[in-house]
Structure 1
Amino acid sequence: MNIWGYGLFGLLTTFLVFATILPLSKVPFGAIRGLDFPRQQYFVLSIILFASSIAFIPGLAGVSLAVLAFVLGAVQLLYIVKFTPVWAKQSVDASDALRRGVDHQVSMLASNIKMSNRDYDALVRLVLERKPDIVMAIEVDKHWVDALKSALGDHFDHWIEVPRDNGYGLLIMSKLPLTEVEVRDLITKDVPSARMRVTLRNGEAFRLYVVHPEPPVMSHDTKGRDGEIAMVGLEAANDNLPAVVAGDLNDVAWSTTTRRFQRLSGLLDPRVGRGFFNTFSATMPWMRWPLDHLFHDPKFRLIEMRRLTKVGSDHFPMWFVLALATTEAEEASPGEAGDGEAFEAKRMIVEEQKRDRGPIGSDWEDD
C-alpha cells in the first residue's frame, strides 16, 4: 500500500471513529444526530476496513487497526441487529382467524411524495392497484391535493386536506369513517400533524396520528423534531383508544429519539425482527435508511408490511395491514421509560413551543 492508500485508510478510519462516538453523546444537534442514520453503511465500511487492515497493513499496526475496525463494526451491529430476522419480532403476527376477519382489519398506504414531484399518476396507479382503506400522502401542496382528488375522489369517502407550500403538507384519504379530526401545529408553526378517530367495519375504533416533523440539518438543533415525536408518544400513551402513529418521522428506527418515543408511548415497531424496509433514499441505493414509519398499540397484530414501488419521490411508499385484536399481546413490549424521561421530554416540548421560528427546509421544494 502506497502513501495515498495509507492516507485514505487513515481518513476513513478516523471518520468512522467520530461517526460512531459522537451520536453516543445524544447532543440534539443536526450535525451529530444525522450521523445516526447510516449505521448500515458504517457496518459495511467497518468490514472493509477490517479486511483491508489484515490484508494490506503488516505487523502490529495491522492487527491493532483490525481490532479497532471490529469494535466499530460491533457497535453498529448493536444498533441495527434488531431490524433483522435474527431478532425476536416486536409486533405479533396475526392469527389465521384475524387474517380471515376483514372487519377487524385496516390497510394503509403511506407515501412521502416529495412536493416538487409531479408524477401524480404513479401514486394514483399504486392506490388503485392496492385499494387501501387509508392513504397518507405527505409533502402535498394544492396541486397534489387537486390531482389526487380529481383521480381518486370517488374512491374515498373521507378526506383531510392540509396542503402546504413549504414541504409539510398532509393529505389523508379514507374509506373508513374519520371523526374527532384535529389538525395541529404541535411544536413549530406551519409544521402540521393530524389526529383522528378511525372506525373499523366491525364498529371498533382506534386513534391515528399522522406526523411529519422537521428533518435534522447540520446547522440547526433537532429539538423541534425530537419534541414533536416525544409529544405524540406521550399523547398516544394517554389515549383512550389503541393508537397508530404513522408518517415520515425524519428519524431512523434505531435512534435515541425514536427509541425514547417507543418507551414513552408503549407502541410497537413492526420492523423489529423483520427487516429494515429502508424508504429513503429511493434515488441513491447506496444511502438508504428507514425514515417512514408506523408504530402501533399492542392490541394490533401485523398481517402485512411491504415497501412498495417508486412513485417519482425520493421516498419509497410503505404498505401496512393491521388487525385489531381484543387483547394486548403480552409478549410484545418496547421497554419502559426511564426515571425522569417523560419529565425531560415535556420540558423540551414546552421550551420548543416558546421558540418563534419558521420550519426547517421550507424552501427545499421550491420549483
Structure 2
Amino acid sequence: MWGIYLFLTALLVLLTILPKIQNAHWIFRVPEFGKIQITYAVVFTFITGLFLTHSQYIWYTQTLLLALFIHHGITLIKYTPLYPVKKHTQRSQSSEKLHFISANVYQFNKEYNRFIELIEKYKPEIFMTMESNGDWEQAMKVLEKDYPFHHKVTLENTYGMHFYSKLEIKSAQTHYFVADDIPSIEVHLKTKDGFSFVFFGVHPPPPSPTEEETSKERDGDLLSAAKRVRDLKDPVIVVGDFNNVAWSKSSVLFRKTSHLIDPRIGHSFVSTFHAKYLLLRFPIDLMFHSEDIFIKELKTLENFGSDHLPVYCEFFIDHHNDEQEDEVEEATTEEKAEAEEMIQEGKEEDGNRDAIVTEG
C-alpha cells in the first residue's frame, strides 16, 4: 500500500509539473485537460495517506499533496459558484432573451433524429454544429423550415461546421487562419428587436497522441480568431469546441487578446467531453463574450449520441449596462508578442490531415 501511495503521489506531481513546461508537444499539454480529475486524485491519495502510519516520512508526502491541492484549487475555484462575481439583471433597454445551442455532433454519429429532436425541444434562435459533414447536412434539412438563414462549411475531415438561425444573417464568412482545412465562421446577425451582434464559431485541432502532435495549430488558430474578434465593433460571442480548457495559457491569452469575458468564472465548469464517461469529462467546449452580452444561463444538455454534450446558452444584449467592464483583461506587451509568435508557429505547422476521414 505504501508503494502505491508513493507512486500516486509521484504521478500527481509529474502531471502538475508537465503543463508548466512551455512545450507544445501533446505530452505537456494534455495534462492541462485533467486538472479537475487530478485534484480529485490528490484528495483521494491524501485521504489514503491518513491510514498509513508505518512510515516516519508520511507527513512529508502529505504536506506535498496538500500543496498540490491548494495549487490546483486556486485555479479551479474560479470556475465554481464559490468565486464571487457580480449578478446582472435584465433592463428595459436590453434585447429580448436569446438562446443558442453549440454541438460537436461527432461526424460518425448516425443518430441524426436525436439531435433534431433536441433542437425541436429547446427551440434556440440559433445553433451551430461541428464535425458535421454532407450526411449531417442532408439530415438537418428538415430544420431549415424553422431556420431559414444558414451558413454551411461542409467537410469530410471532421472539421465541417454548419450554422442555422431564425434571426436575419446580415453577412457571413469563413476564415482559414492557420490551415486551409480548419475553418472558423463569422456570422453577423440582427435580432427582431433591432440589436446587432456577431456569432463566431471555432473548432481547432487538439494536441493528442492520435491527432496533432503539438498544440501549435490549435493555439495559432484560436489566437488568430482572438485578433479578428478584437477588431469587431458589434457585440460578439465566440463559441465552439476549443479542444482547450479555460485555465490553459493559450486560453488566457485568447481571452486577453480578444478582450472577451469567460462566463464560466464564478459559475461552473460546464464539462462536455467525453459525454459517455462522467469521471473523464473535460470542459473543452468553451464560450467567451464581449461586455455588452450578458449570460443568463450556460449549461450542457442531454447526450444525443455524440462524444460531446451540447452547450446551451441563454443571453441578452445591453449596450447601456457597464457592469462587466472590469471583467475585461488586456494582454501585456509581452503577452501580445507571445501571441504573435504562437500565431506564426501555427501557420508554419503542417497538420497533415486527410481530406476525408473514416471511422477506424
User: What interval of TM-score do these two structures reach, taking the shorter chain for normalisation?
Assistant: over 0.9
Q: 1:47 aligns with which of 38, 43, 49?
A: 43
* Post-superposition offset of 1:338: 2.0
Asked if 1:244 corresponds to 2:228, the answer is no
Asked if 1:196 corresponds to 2:184, the answer is no
Amino acid aligned to 1:230? L
Equivalent-residue separation in structure 1 for 2:271 and 2:181 (angstroms):
27
- After superposition, the CA RMSD in angstroms is 1.9
Q: 1:348 aligns with which of 330, 338, 342?
A: 342
Please show how residues 183-262 of structure 1 align to structure 2 within 5 Å. 183-218=174-209, 220-262=213-255
Equivalent-residue separation in structure 2 for 1:88 and 1:9 (angstroms):
36
Equivalent-residue separation in structure 1 for 2:59 and 2:116 (angstroms):
56
Provide the residue aligned with 2:24 in structure 1. 28
Q: Are the aligned partners of 1:109 and 1:132 in contact in 2 as well (CA < 8 Å)?
A: yes
Q: Are the aligned partners of 1:39 and 1:79 in contact in 2 as well (CA < 8 Å)?
A: no
Equivalent-residue separation in structure 1 for 2:149 and 2:90 (angstroms):
30
Asked if 1:93 corresponds to 2:99, the answer is no
Amino acid aligned to 1:17? V
Of 323-332 and 76-85, more deviation after overlay is shown by 323-332
Q: What is the number of residues matched between the two proteins?
A: 357
* Post-superposition offset of 1:307: 1.1
Amino acid aligned to 2:136? W
Cα distance, 1:306–1:355 mapped onto 2, change above 3 Å = closer
Q: 1:294 aligns with which of 287, 298, 323?
A: 287
Q: 1:282 aligns with which of 266, 269, 275?
A: 275
Amino acid aligned to 1:229? L
Q: Are the aligned partners of 1:188 and 1:358 in contact in 2 as well (CA < 8 Å)?
A: no
Equivalent-residue separation in structure 2 for 1:33 and 1:360 (angstroms):
23
Does the residue aligned with 2:51 lie in a helix, a strand or coil? Answer: helix
Does the residue aligned with 1:340 lie in a helix, a strand or coil? Answer: helix
Please show how residues 105-124 of structure 1 align to structure 2 within 5 Å. 105-124=97-116
Equivalent-residue separation in structure 2 for 1:227 and 1:94 (angstroms):
36
Provide the residue aligned with 1:155 in structure 2. 146
Equivalent-residue separation in structure 2 for 1:325 and 1:64 (angstroms):
53
Does the residue aligned with 1:76 lie in a helix, a strand or coil? Answer: helix
Equivalent-residue separation in structure 2 for 1:74 and 1:254 (angstroms):
15
Gaps of 5+ in 2: none
* Post-superposition offset of 1:35: 0.5
Equivalent-residue separation in structure 2 for 1:291 and 1:131 (angstroms):
24
Equivalent-residue separation in structure 2 for 1:203 and 1:188 (angstroms):
36
Asked if 1:339 corresponds to 2:333, the answer is yes
Give me the TM-score of the superposition, normalised by structure 1.
Answer: 0.92
Equivalent-residue separation in structure 2 for 1:43 and 1:361 (angstroms):
39
Q: Deviation string for 1:228-266 (max 9, x for gaps)?
A: 111111211121212110000001121111111111111
Please show how residues 309-328 of structure 1 align to structure 2 within 5 Å. 309-327=302-320, 328=322
Equivalent-residue separation in structure 2 for 1:155 and 1:361 (angstroms):
32
Gaps of 5+ in 1: none
Equivalent-residue separation in structure 2 for 1:228 and 1:360 (angstroms):
18
Q: Are the aligned partners of 1:206 and 1:243 in contact in 2 as well (CA < 8 Å)?
A: yes
Give me the TM-score of the superposition, normalised by structure 2.
Answer: 0.94
Q: Are the aligned partners of 2:291 and 2:328 in contact in 1 as well (CA < 8 Å)?
A: no
* Post-superposition offset of 1:56: 1.3
Amino acid aligned to 1:320? C
